[in-house]
A and B are shown apart, each in its own frame.
Chain A
């Protein structure tokens, strides 16, 4: 893979992701004001000092956006990493072990998927204590069902190949087969899926926060900021749209990269259509 093969749209996507990541990483140095520092009156219009204006409590919107990038990205990323580890390992083990393990895991997965993700999350969050670890855990477990489904399909193809059979006859253990034989061969579609799940996680945590069930105030996160500022909309104050646009821009960026990755995968595989 060389840099020239990266399409223009993918470059736009990469740039978008890079901006968000840099903002998140360098938040304390980049933000002109503190995360919860009240610097003026509520919903003050944009000015030289406050490029994006102030929010519902008179905090600088730009600073909160930068700190919010940190929270949103952190939660989305850790939930996706967790859900991926969980989904990939379980689905590959299911595909390799076959029999009852496969049956049990696959049916359990079907059952979990029979309830819509958001509804399931609402049910579980109604019962669990509200904190960050619980939130990430719930998102990860619910999302891992989708990863499991893809992983099971991928590993099902690979597990019947001759080189896996050879490894089995050599007497390799299940985990060795999972990590050394199947995983490397399933990498490309999994990377694309990781992007999709990450985009979904960003949307999901933002939605939960918007509903007031995600990250709790006063911590800044993009979904919660929409919620904070939504009452201004009716007065024509667009403060709520800024974090909304940021969420959209980030997910679009991720999807642009994923789109390119998927196209590249299908062209590598060759074949008619695609």
Chain B
């Protein structure tokens, strides 16, 4: 009885091979409109599976629905990573402008340009340089900064830890808080609490990071001097000392990301609650609690995981502005500084690391949501 009602929508139109049902597509496309600017996910495009010609791949999919999907997703992640490395490299190289010329500025005599091009290896063909670059990166060498001559790898190694500390601390606080708030909003749906949370979070997603950051600085550093500014950390500091120093940047990140995560959690849960099987459960007469635990929770897990991962990915980018505000020695500040002086090896290296983390997080989210999807747990 239970198992029969758990998955009434088990045979979804796409799986049974009928043409994409507009109503079903509608449901899939709709949340996109509700999502906020930063919902930059790259979940698997739901390929409209045509009538399955039972090839070996289709059989494999039917036998191991979970394993094959995870394999596909990992393959896609690797392809994306590779393609984005091309995009990052070519994106910079193909664009107009001679770097040697820009770099030399006033002193750009033809001889000097030729020398500099040779020094940086800019005279070699594009494809050769790309593969050299990729080969070196795979061996942990991001090249040397044009501006300072320092090794980009050492800098990134130092700063990546700092950035991850910042983002990690923010995530540990923000994730439970926002998922909890989202649940409360659903529980008191359309009542005063929900409306208040909705209105406040709507305002909060509209605040630029730097505004929140300077507001916090004004209140907690200038007026009450209870926190440190600038939040510069050094390697010699212990973990506790570091955490104490980064209270304000972490608070900024939490405030910025929490409203987002909460709104998306709320939307995801409401989406599940509105589905046909929840109506069935209700009509069948089982209690609200039981319906939520038995039917809603397993299905809501995947969207919530996605929400969390999306916002973690957003945190990775959010650190850029926050680091600049708080003069925090992380990846973001490094990259922004490099962009201002057009220090391309640094920009490319940082860009690739950021993109890699982002792709990895999205991939993890997709794999996790495949893992918790009850419909994929048993072969057809």
Q: Which residues on A are within 8 Å of B, measured CB to CB? A: 9, 106, 110-120, 122-129, 146, 149-150, 153-154, 156-158, 160-161, 189, 192-193, 196-197, 199-200, 203, 206-207, 210-213, 223, 226, 230, 233-236, 238, 240-241, 244-245, 247-248, 251-252, 254-256, 259, 262, 265, 271-274
Contacts and interface: CB of A to CB of B under 8 A. Distances in A.
A273 B20 contact: no
B37 A203 contact: yes
A78 to B, nearest CB: 18
Contact of A123 (B92, B206, B221, B229): B92
Given A160-B19, A199-B37, A262-B34, A236 B218 contact: yes
Interface stretch (B55-63, B175-183, B208-216, B300-308): B208-216
A236 B223 contact: yes
B49 interface: no
Given A157-B29, A241-B211, A273-B271, A114 B339 contact: no
A272 B283 CA distance: 14
Interface stretch (B79-87, B122-130, B137-145, B284-292): B79-87
A3 to B, nearest CB: 22
B75 to A, nearest CB: 14
Interface stretch (B105-113, B236-244, B315-323): B315-323
Contacts of A112: 87
Nearest to A161: B22
B26 A196 contact: no
Contacts of A265: 33
Nearest to B339: A126
B95 A127 contact: yes
Contacts of A154: 29
Contact of A113 (B40, B343, B347): B40
Given A128-B97, A272-B274, A241 B215 contact: yes
A127 B325 CA distance: 24
B205 interface: yes
Contact of A160 (B22, B38, B199, B321): B22
Contacts of B359: 114
Contact of B208 (A192, A234, A244): A244
In this complex, the member of A114, A146, A251 whose beta carbon has the largest number of chain B beta carbons within 10 angstroms is A114
A206 B32 CA distance: 24
B95 A128 contact: yes
25 contacts: A111-B87, A114-B80, A114-B355, A114-B359, A116-B358, A117-B40, A118-B317, A122-B336, A123-B91, A124-B91, A125-B339, A126-B338, A127-B95, A127-B99, A156-B29, A157-B22, A193-B33, A199-B206, A203-B37, A236-B223, A248-B206, A248-B211, A251-B206, A255-B202, A273-B270
A150 B29 contact: yes
Nearest to B83: A111
B340 A213 contact: yes
Contacts of A200: 37-38
A233 B214 contact: yes
B297 interface: no
Contacts of A274: 270, 274
A194 B366 CA distance: 28
Contact of A241 (B20, B91, B218, B325): B218
Contacts of A240: 214
Nearest to B203: A252
B335 interface: yes
A193 B38 CA distance: 13
B321 A207 contact: yes
A240 B212 CA distance: 11
B222 interface: yes
A262 B270 CA distance: 15
Given A115-B358, A123-B92, A197-B37, A226 B214 contact: yes
Nearest to B41: A113
A112 B277 CA distance: 36
B36 A196 contact: yes
Contacts of B347: 122-123, 126
A185 B214 CA distance: 44
Given A111-B80, A207-B209, A273-B271, A234 B45 contact: no
